[in-house]
Each structure stands twice: as C-alpha cells, then as structure tokens.
Amino acid sequence: MTSPLEQKKIKIAGPSIVTANRTWDGIVVYRTAAKSWSADLSEAAIVRNSDEAKALLAESVADDVGAIGPYIAPVQVGADGKIEPGNLREQIRRTGVTIGQSAQV
C-alpha cells in the first residue's frame, strides 16, 4: 500500500486504472474510456502497459476541473471482465472504511 503520493515512476505490473477524487465533492472516481469520470469502478478504462498508463494519466491530469490528484492504481480483472481493486488501499477507497461504528453513519 505504498502511497501513490510517492509514485515517482510509472511502472505497472498488471492491469491498472487511473483513479482520482471529484473536484466539487471529493468522492472517489475512475477515468473511463470515454474520457470522463465515473464513480463506478466497472466503468474504468483498463491499461496494461506503461505507455497506455502514461497516456491515460496525462489525459486525466489535463481534466483538472473534473477531478484532482489522479494516479495509477492496480486492479484485478476476472475472467468475466469484472474489475476489483488491486490492493487494500483501493479496496477501502471503493467500499469505504473498515471500522464500522460512526464512520458508517
């Protein structure tokens, strides 16, 4: 779960997506193939090599009004095409805090 803030080089080891937070309200969003943002991970554009990742990230960074802090994150893609977060950090961003109680209010 190395913080993406420490992401210095773009090097991906498997299927990845670009994620960010929507500017006006901060919610978690994913870059889509339609050059837009979606709150639904299943709509995220998948990249599979560094060049694709760089291009998707560059396009995401350019959409500064739509979302902020974009970075590349790993995902797992099932045989049925279903996309799941590739690490705990992204799992928490997708499904919420793991602590119950007041945090789930």
Partner 1 sequence: MYAYDEIDRTLVNERVSEFRDQVKRRLSGELTEDEFKILRLQNGVYLQLHAYMFRVAIPYGTLATNQLRALAHVARKYDRGYGHFTTRQNIQFNWIKLAELPDALEDLAKVGIHAMQTSGNNMRNVTSDQWAGVAPGEIEDPRIWSELIRQHTTLHPEFSFLPRKFKIAITASDHDRAAIKIHDIGLRLIKNEKGETGFEVLVGGGLGRTPFIAKTIKHFVHGRDILSYIEAILRVYNQYGRRDNIYKARIKILVHELGIEKFSREVEEEWQHIRNSSLQIDDEVIEDIRSRFTYPAYEKLPHMPDELRQAAADPDFEAWRKNSVAPHKNQGYSIVTISLKPIGAPPGDATAEQMDALADLADKYSFGEIRVGHEQNLALPHVAKRDLPALWKALDKLGLATPNVNLITDIIACPGLDYCSLANARSIPIAQELTRRFANHELANLIGRLHINISGCINACGHHHVGHIGILGVEKNGEEVYQITIGGRADENAALGNLIGPGVKFDEVADVVEDIVEAYLALRERPEELFMDTVKRLGVEPFKERVYATR
**List of residues contacting partner 1 (CB under 8 A):** 1-5, 21, 23-28, 64-65, 68-69, 87-89, 92-93, 96-99, 101-103, 105
Nearest CA to 47 out of 74, 7, 86 is that of 74
- By beta-carbon proximity to partner 1, the closer residue of 80 and 98 is 98
Cβ closer to partner 1: 4 or 52? Answer: 4
Q: In whole angstroms, how close is the CB of 101 to partner 1 at the nearest point?
A: 5
- Residue-by-residue DSSP string for 43-95: GBPPB-SHHHHHHHHHHHHH-TTTEEEEEEEEEEE-TT--EEESSHHHHHHHH
Nearer to partner 1, 74 or 77 (CB): 74
